[in-house]
A and B are shown apart, each in its own frame.
Chain A
Amino acid sequence: MSGQSPEIDTAKINTAVAQATAPANDTPLLRVEGVSKKFGDFRAVDRLSLDIKAGEFFALLGPSGCGKTTLLRMLAGFETPDEGRILLGGRDIAPVLPHERPVNMMFQNYALFPHLSVRDNIAFGLKRAGMAGAAIDTRVGEMVALVKLEGMEKRRPDQLSGGQKQRVALARSLARRPKVLLLDEPLAALDKKLRESTQLELMELQRRLGMTFIVVTHDQEEAMTMANRIGVMDAGRLEQVATPRDLYEAPASRWVAQFVGDVNLFDGEVTSQEDHRLTIATRDGGSIVVAEPRDLIGKTMVSVAIRPEKVRLSRRDPASDAGTLQAVNRLEGVVTDVSYLGGSTVYKIKLDSGAVVRSSIANTARLDIDTLSAGRRVVAWFTPDDCMVLEK
């Protein structure tokens, strides 16, 4: 999209949306029930269950090889589940062939037909649906306007930039107005700046169209930016399904905590519990007090997790300068590494126990005379509310 604003034109979208899908209610639009897929001895997807509501923007997040693309391909119909059922609007879609499913996919490499123009690529699915010529022209016009590709209709894919190809692929997959749009790493081939603006466009588009989007990505920032809910996958299973905030602030496991964002982990055992205050004896961080409503007394294999931006640093003891009467956890150590990242600075502190704690501090002032340098002895501290207890 050379020289043009990448923003989506909302007026055109409104005209493009003739029928929005039904508003979200409690019955899931898509239900995955105990689905497995094996390739030889390898279980790509392992007895996975998942409900997705109409109008949701759902992200499947996971490292490469976790089975997220296989799950998406089963939804599209390119792979058949070995076990389990996939229900769309309450109907089992196992016997429905890919070309008959009310689901469309946007491919990772876009898979644009190189011998067809932008217009013919977008019209491809409409012609197969037996739409009349005039209706096709109207719909293609709407789609071209939707993705802001006016004037490019006659171009071939090899005459387009990466961002333009992405838009054609999106327009082509939206043209048939599918009930569910599947997006396989839709932004992976774009550079960082374009990726960020396109993320916002996709969100805007999904909201306007009221369509259900399922996006597969390995980029947690992308998933958190765009999705209402995220399913984190590992080794063919869903580790956790949650909103971006819950995923980050209340991860279900050590694995999720480490996969989504950065985290400091202290392994230890629960020694006492009173009034939602848990004391955990950790190997590397001594005794840590944690706010925890669950009854975990007697648990021996737990971890205390603290996100780096919740670890604050002080030159002196925080009891005097924090100004709180709340009990805080204090860890003493020496700054070993300072990474300036622009918006924030990440400090690595080597504790007296030998363990390393990371602290991320927002750079709220342009000039900071109080900055900490390597070799400086500091107190790293955090409140019990900022700690999470992970059992697995």
Chain B
Amino acid sequence: MSNQKKRNFQIEAFKQRVVVDPKYADKTWKILEHAIHEIYNHNASGLSFEELYRNAYNMVLHKYGDKLYNGLVTTMTFHLKEICKSIEEAHGGAFLELINRKWNHHNKALQMIRDIVMYMDRTYVSSTKKTHVHELGLHLWRDNVVYSSKIQTRLLNTLLDLVHKERTGEVIDRLLMRNVIKMFMDLGESVYQDDFEEPFLEASAEFYKVESQGFIESCDCGDYLKKAEKPLVEEVERVAHYLDAKSEAKITSVVEKEMIANHVQRLVHM
């Protein structure tokens, strides 16, 4: 680049970029807030992506990234609380069904929201080391829905109950089970392990303790071993259908412990 060119390199002052309207941030946020409501209310197809993306971009450019981010948290929390209420009101079998439906809807909404605030996600969120929007949406769902006092225990009991039913020979909706348990996995390995897997293993241990006691009273050693093999096969199949693959080793060891190890003495002396 010649020196002359350097000297000729002029930039018009960008003074117009300075926002004069003091209500600018509020006005812009109102547009985006409205859009988020529409997205949660299934009305997204009428929204203009360009307009929303541009507004979110301008907010970040004019250093209102924190306002945008906090607004997002508040608005999403509001909707999740609404969702939570409607789930609480569901009765019987509709409960699990509704959780699954709302979860899917939340995921779609989250995708759209993330797309329109993509610029914030890429710049402001990264530079301030906040939680990225996608993860944020998952955390909000976890804290407001899954961990809600009226849902947490009921959800776990419903799932364990279904597993129990299946173990005792009933047919359950495995697809629905898979979707809901997939939700736990999506929320993070720790959520899956602490809030589902651990109670599941405990319940399984309890179940097979009783089961084995019944068998051992009524069978001889050969029959017992045959009967003990069946649950192993069933549990492996269960993992394949609707649990995380990593649970396989854990559940088989539980079954082995309850069915065999705890009774070794007795089996040997049979």
Q: Tell whether A and B belong to one assembly.
A: no
Residues of B within 8 A of A (CB): none
